[in-house]
Amino acid sequence: MKNVSPTSIIHKNNLPFSVNNYCFTKLIGQVGFSEVFLGTNLLCGTEYVAKVMTVDSTDMPEHWAIFDAEVSALKKLDHPRIIKLYDHFHQGSQLFMILEYCQGGSLFDEVRKENGLSMGRFQQVGREIVEALNYCHERGIAHRDIKTGNILLDSNNHVRLADFGLSLQTIEKRLYHSLGGSFEYAAPEIFLKRPHDPMPGDIWALGVVFSIMASGFSPWACDSFGELKALALQAQIKFRKPIPDIIYDLIRRMIVVDPLSRLTIKEVLAHPVFNSAKLVRRGVSKSLNMKKRKIFWDSIKRVSNADEKNEIESLFNSVGTSGNYFEIENNDAQAVVTAVHSVSGIFMLKDKRNHVKRRLIKKAPSVFETFIDNDVQEIL
């Protein structure tokens, strides 16, 4: 094990290393300007992470401001859903923060793995994020970098709000010009560089997070920053799959162009989405009645020719949707709902939707065309 001298630079090539009674053995990530190392306190054996920022004379003021903002914020915040700061120090040209180790990874990882969260999981995680952010806002601290990658999970998959490097201790009624956060999550008043209250900016960013949690994808259907900016200026969000009406209502009240018209964090916490026992996806149990289910199931069942079946199944597979619903029993109501999910899902991909739709209608009976026009279009 290397004992790092005050003039040494700590990086992944000299692992393991020890400094100030901590031994670090593994690089586990990079956050902004910092590298994150996993290690152990040599006195008590507890695992921690070190967030290490390397600076030089040219960028010292900027990096020191980020370091100081995070340390200052975390020293003021003591909440079970906010990451804990245990120690901080500098050695040579490096700044160290010793933080709670979150073994569950990040919300970004979970959403990507699961392609969105279940409704129960959405309620749990969403409420914990809101409770953490509410605690911050009550103390006048705006996070300013809310995103899935900055929401960590402990070993029991509970939330830890992290990365306060861009946070700001606000003064009531004062407007700010400083920028912060990732462009995908930035509210219009921020990327337009207008004087603004950063608290509503957190609400907008959290609305984007909720969109990703519910659908598995960004709500911005675009390929460039210019397109994203144009969509954000109109709050034109889209979802690639149905989401519960109650969640849709919450997100629509958060992603609002006028910051004064957005929900406050307390209003988000009081929203019915976090006070309902069970949520239902849009377009299925509530808005898709049994008659429509039966019509749709009959349309699939009537595609009995093997070549037609293979053709349609190939189309579904080409856009990443399984064709297993062809084996569903006719009297299995739950399976029919799953089939509706599978079929409606193919129309979420803009570049292939029209091509697939034309070919499906050509092969399927006319009742299938009616289903496509009247029901799937509602969720595009």
Catalytic annotation, residues: 145
Range list of β-strands (E), 337-379: none
Nearest alpha carbon to residue 338 among 356, 326, 348, 353: 326
Rounded Cα–Cα distance for residues 194 and 189 (Å):
5
Measured CA distances, 293 to 76, 199, 289, 375 (Å): 54, 44, 6, 11
Rounded Cα–Cα distance for residues 180 and 168 (Å):
10
Q: Is 220:231 a contact under the CB 8 Å cutoff?
A: yes
Tokens of 320: 């990443």
Rounded Cα–Cα distance for residues 250 and 92 (Å):
48
Long-range contacts of 138-143 (CB under 8 A, 24+ apart): 139/76, 139/77, 140/169, 140/170, 140/171, 140/172, 141/73, 141/76, 141/77, 141/167, 141/168, 141/169, 141/170, 142/167, 142/168, 142/170, 142/198, 142/199, 142/201, 142/202, 143/167, 143/202
Rounded Cα–Cα distance for residues 162 and 145 (Å):
9
